Amino acid sequence: MLDQPNMGPARESHLGTASYDLVVAGAGIAGLNALYAAVQYLPKNARVLLIDQKAGAGGMWNTAYDYVRLHQPHPMFTVGDLKWAWNKPRAYLAKRDEVRDHLASSVQAVAKAVDLSTLFGHIVASCEEVGTGQGARARLAVYPNGHPEHVFTVEAARAIYAPGLNYRLAEPLTLSSHNVISIIPQDLLPTLAAHPNVSVCVVGGGKTGMDSVLAVLGADPERKVTLINGRGTNFLNRTKYIPTGVKRWTSGSLVSRLFRDIALVFDGDNEEQTIQHFRAQHSTEPKSTNGVFLYGLQSEEEHARVKQGLAKTHSDYLIDVTDTASGVTMTLRSGATETVEAGTIFVNCTGSFFRGDDLEERQTVLSPNGAVLRIVARDGFHFLTSVAGFFATHLLYRDALRGKGFYTLDHEGLFRENRNAWIGASAAQSYMNQVIAVQTLPMMLLDRCGLDLDRWYPLPRRLRGLLQMKSSAERDIAHCRKVLDRVAERFAVHCGPL
C-alpha cells in the first residue's frame, strides 16, 4: 500500500490524468464498507485508489472525543464481515482509538485483494461522471490539504464518493461571561484535570451529552454536574434489545423488527405520536416526557448512573451566561435564569452532524450511466452511511440499484425541517430498502453484512425474523412507500424512487 498513488504513464487516459478501475473518496466507515464491497467484483490486478482528507483511514474516529465509545457491541461495527483482531467479550463497547485502528485494518485487508494505492491528506473538490472515448467514466479533481491551487485529476471506470454526514467538530459555545470556561468534548478530560472540584454544565442531551456526563462522573463522582437537555432525548434500551447470555435466546427483539414497528406506526403525519410510542415501548425512560430520538442506544445501567449523578437537569435551551451584579447568571430560552458558580465548565455537546450553516448541495446517489455512486445524506440510500456503503455498492456492481423499488431520502433536508419526522421517515425508508434488498440479493451476501444488529441473536431467531419479514413484505413495502410519498409532499424534500 502506497502513501501516494502510482500514476504510471502506461495507465494514463489522457495527458496528466491517471486512470484507475475504481476510486473511493472517503475513508470513513461508509467509504471503507463501499471499498470492501467493491473489491469483491474486481480482478486481483485491478488498480484502486482510496482518497481521504485525514492522515489515515477511520473518518470521524480520528477526531472524535477520546472517551467516546460505540453504541452497539463492537462486532456489529465493522467493515463488511471483517472480524476484530481480539477476543474481548462480544458485548464490549469499543473506544475511539480501538475503533479507528479496526477501521484502518480494513485497508490492509483490501490491499491484499487488489492493487491498492492510498492518498491521504487530500481533498476531493469534485467527483463527476464524464463522457470519454471509453464511454462514461468518473473524473475527480483532487488537491492536497491547504493547497487548492495544486489541483490534479484522476479518472476511473467507477468512483464511489462517500464524504459522510456533513460531520464537523463542534465549537465552544460563545458565552458573554468572563468567569466560566467554554469547551468542546475533545477538551473535557484535560480541562477537568486542570480545574478540580469545579462544577460542570453539559449542554445537550444526546449521546455526546450522556458520554460527557459519565466521563465527568468517572473522573470525579463528587463533582457537581448539571445537564441542559432541551426537549430531552430518548434512547433505545440496549439492555432490552441487546441482551446477553441466555437472554439472547429468550428475550429482546431483532432490531429489524424494531425498525418495522416504528415504520408501521408512522403514517407520514404523526411524528410526535411515533416518538411517544417509541419512548413507551422501547426506551430506557418510558415514563419521561423526552421529546426526541436520534438513534442512540443506552443501557439501563448507564441511564441509572446518569440520573443518580446529575445534580440538576433543565429541560430547556441555553441562551447565554453573563456576569451580573449578583454573580454569574445563566439564561434559558424559557426566560428562566439561574445563578451558576464562577469557574463552571460549559461543555458544548449539541452534536457534530449537519452542523454547517447551509445545506450541502444535493447530488443524486447514482450518476446517469452508473459511473459515480454517492454515499451522501441529501440523496441517501440509508440513514446509516455504513449500511448504505455496503448495500448500495453490492447492488451497483450487480446492476440492481435502479428499477427495484428502492427509495432515497434527503436526510439532511428533512432532519433540519423536523427531526421527529426524520425518525419516522428514515425508519420507513431503511426498513423498506432492507426488505427489497432481501428480495434482491443472495442470502450468502446478506449474511456477510457485519453491520446487521440482528446478528447479535442466535441463527434460529434470525431465520424466524427473516421468514416474518418475507411474509409481510408486500404490504409493508406498500405502507412505507405511502408514508415516504407523504413526507415528500409535506416537507417539500426529495424522497422517492432511486
Tens digits of per-residue pLDDT, 126-144? 999 999 988 999 999 999 9
Higher-scoring residue by pLDDT: 185, 5: 185
- The CA angle 160-22-44, to the nearest 5 degrees, is 135
Give the tens place of pLDDT for each residue, 78-114: 999 999 999 999 999 999 999 999 999 999 999 999 9
The strand pairing partners of 227, in sequence order, are 202, 313
Kindly report the CATH class assigned to 9-168+356-402: alpha beta
361 pLDDT band, cuts 50/70/90, is: confident
Residues of the chain with CATH 3.50.50.60: 9-168+356-402, 181-232+291-348
Give the number of other CB atoms < 10 A from CB of residue 152: 14
- How big is the chain by its Cα radius of gyration, in Å? 23
Q: Out of 3.40.190.10, 3.50.50.60, 3.90.1150.10, 3.40.50.740, which CATH number does the structure's domain 181-232+291-348 have? A: 3.50.50.60
| pLDDT the model gives residue 16 | 59
pLDDT band at 8 (very low <50, low <70, confident <90, very high): very low
Band of pLDDT at residue 355, cut at 50, 70 and 90: low
Give mean pLDDT, residues 238-256. Answer: 94
The DSSP result for 104-154, as a single string, is HHHHHHHHTTSEEEEEESEEEEEEEEEEETTEEEEEEEEEETT-TTS-EEE
d(CA 467, CA 299): 29
4 pLDDT band (50/70/90 cuts)? Answer: very low
With residue 413 as reference, give the H or E element that holds it. helix 411-417
User: Could you give the CA distance from residue 235 to residue 135 in angstroms, rounded to a whole number?
Assistant: 49
- The conformation of residue 164, written as its DSSP 8-state character, comes to -
Mean per-residue pLDDT, 3-23: 58
Please tell me the distance from the alpha carbon of residue 357 to that of residue 496, in angstroms, as a whole number. Answer: 26
pLDDT for 207 beyond 90 = yes
271 and 418 in contact (C-beta within 8 Å)?
yes
What are 364-420's pLDDT values in tens digits?
999 999 999 999 999 999 999 999 999 999 999 999 999 999 999 999 999 999 999
Q: How far is CA 35 from CA 20, 313, 421, 435, in A?
A: 14, 44, 32, 23
Q: Answer yes or no: is pLDDT of 282 > 60.
A: yes
pLDDT in tens, 304-320: 999 999 999 999 999 99
Mean pLDDT of the chain: 93
Structure confidence at residue 360 as a pLDDT band (50, 70, 90): confident
pLDDT(244) > 90 = yes
The candidate with the shortest Cα–Cα distance to 267, out of 485, 417, 497, 492, is: 485
- Say if CB 159 and CB 130 are below 8 A apart: no
Query: Rounded mean pLDDT of 262-274?
Result: 98
Q: What is the pLDDT of residue 356?
A: 65
Q: In the numeric block, which cell numbers belong to residue 299?
A: 443501557
